[in-house]
């Protein structure tokens, strides 16, 4: 079960979530899916094995994707047309230099109305556009911890909607 804390931020633009099990990370993604809006840029931060792809899988499952969800470590991008959105899942882990982002010609994805979820965005900095929403994942003694921050009006709105979903009376989407 996801344990949620509203962070000390007057704008309501930050949430902290304790994720005791992998299923909770996927459930957080499912809850996030309900708050997504076209054009959002989401950065997923965290070391290897922190649950970045698991969270993305939760988003995609909640949007109706039934196929496999894998990290695009070698392909750089996995595009999905799901529900009401075009979603692009990026992974820049294998970049040796930020200029590889420019060489790959990926700017057009970030200029459109698709939702861009990016693993390892720091590998493409300073060329990758800034995020609307940033999710930092790390381990804790009894699971994982997610710090979710909105950096733009669209990102803050997403955080507020996510908080409302997670604090709602019913179970978080994707949980039992």
Question: Which CATH number fits the domain that encloses residue 130?
Answer: 3.40.50.300
70 within some domain: yes
173 within some domain: no
Answer with the residue of higher pLDDT: 102 or 140.
102
Burial of 104 (0-12, 13-18, 19+ CB in 10 A): middle
Task: Compute the distance between CA of residue 18 and CA of residue 113 in angstroms, rounded to an integer.
Answer: 31
> Over the stretch 64-108, which tens digit does the pLDDT of each residue have?
988 888 777 778 899 998 877 899 999 999 999 999 999 999 999
175 within some domain: no
Question: What is the domain range of residue 158?
Answer: 3-167
114 band by pLDDT with thresholds 50, 70 and 90: very high
Among residues 59, 7, 54, the alpha carbon closest in space to that of 31 is found at 59
Please give the pLDDT value at position 45.
95
How many structural domains are present in the chain? 1
Distances (CA, A) of 140 to 11, 18, 105, 135, 137: 27, 9, 37, 16, 10
172 within some domain: no
174 within some domain: no
């Amino acid at each position: 079960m996801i344990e949620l804390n509203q962070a000390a931020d007057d704008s309501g633009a930050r949430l902290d979530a304790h994720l005791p099990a992998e299923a909770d990370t996927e459930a957080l993604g499912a809850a996030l899916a309900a708050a997504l809006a076209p054009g959002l840029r989401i950065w997923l931060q965290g070391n290897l094995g922190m649950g970045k792809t698991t969270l993305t899988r939760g988003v995609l499952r909640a949007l109706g994707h039934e196929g496999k969800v894998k990290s695009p470590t070698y392909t750089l991008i996995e595009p999905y047309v799901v529900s009401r959105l075009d979603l692009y899942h990026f992974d820049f882990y294998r970049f040796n230099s930020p200029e590889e982002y420019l060489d790959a010609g990926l700017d057009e994805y970030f200029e459109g109305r698709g939702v861009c979820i990016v693993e390892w965005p720091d590998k493409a900095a300073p060329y990758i556009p800034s995020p609307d929403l940033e999710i930092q994942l790390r381990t804790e003694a009894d699971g994982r911890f997610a710090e979710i921050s909105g950096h733009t009006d669209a990102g803050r709105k997403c955080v507020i909607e996510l908080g409302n979903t997670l604090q709602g009376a019913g179970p978080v989407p994707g949980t039992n």
